Amino acid sequence: MFCESVMWIAEDVTDTPVVRVDHVMETPPDSLGPTVDVALLADAVQAVRGKLFILGGGWDTLWVRGFPARHPSLAIGLRLRVPVSWDAEILNLSVELQDADGKGLLPKPLTADVRLNPNAARPPDASDYGLIRSFTFNNLPFQEEGAYSFVISVDGAPVSRLRFNVRARPQPPQVV
């Protein structure tokens, strides 16, 4: 068993401990596999030399004129943390658009096989390394207003969900 103890103590004026938190993990953190460190929606994203270049990022509501709607372009910026102990040479990364009921809305998920380089130079005490990727979706159709999400999976297992809403833009009041 891998034990990690986290303790935070706030003291009042009498020096009496107020809060104590202990946490025991059943497995060491590096055996959990790749995890999502950053995932966000944006108007545009480029992944270049280990950096995400983001334009209009961090939104959670897509405003459209009416339904059905077709959005010209949106992107996902993604940073995964991959444990150095992860022994796979290729990581399958996929993104699937789903509606509020979990129904897939694309003909098939957008996937990318990413070749990992476990022999890359890293500090000797490194427990993981970052993997940067971007996904761009053009002309996405939305049939109705509501909640949607992009499900991000690694090797077929979901690791994150980016939730967002698609709403009709309110009509301005008519000036007479």
Domains of the chain: 31-168 (2.60.40.2550)
> Rounded to the nearest 10 degrees, how much is the dihedral formed by the CA atoms of 72, 44, 96, 104?
-20
The beta-strand segments (E) located in the chain are 3-4, 23-24, 35-48, 51-57, 61-64, 69-83, 90-99, 110-115, 128-142, 146-154, 157-168
Q: What is the mean pLDDT of residues 51-74?
A: 95
List pLDDT tens digits, range 70-81: 999 999 999 999
The region of weakest confidence among 7-21, 35-49, 141-155, 160-174 is 7-21
Q: Which two tokens stand for residue 171?
A: 């009509």
Q: According to the model, what pLDDT value does residue 8 have?
A: 38
Burial class (CB in 10 A: 0-12, 13-18, 19+), 113: exposed
11 contact partners, CB below 8 Å, separation of at least 6: 17, 18
Instruction: Please write the tens of the pLDDT for every residue from 92-144.
Output: 999 999 999 999 999 999 999 999 876 777 778 888 888 999 999 999 999 99
Of the candidates 156, 151, 114, 127, the one whose C-alpha atom is nearest the C-alpha of residue 39 is 151
What percentage of residues in the chain have a pLDDT greater than 90? Answer: 64
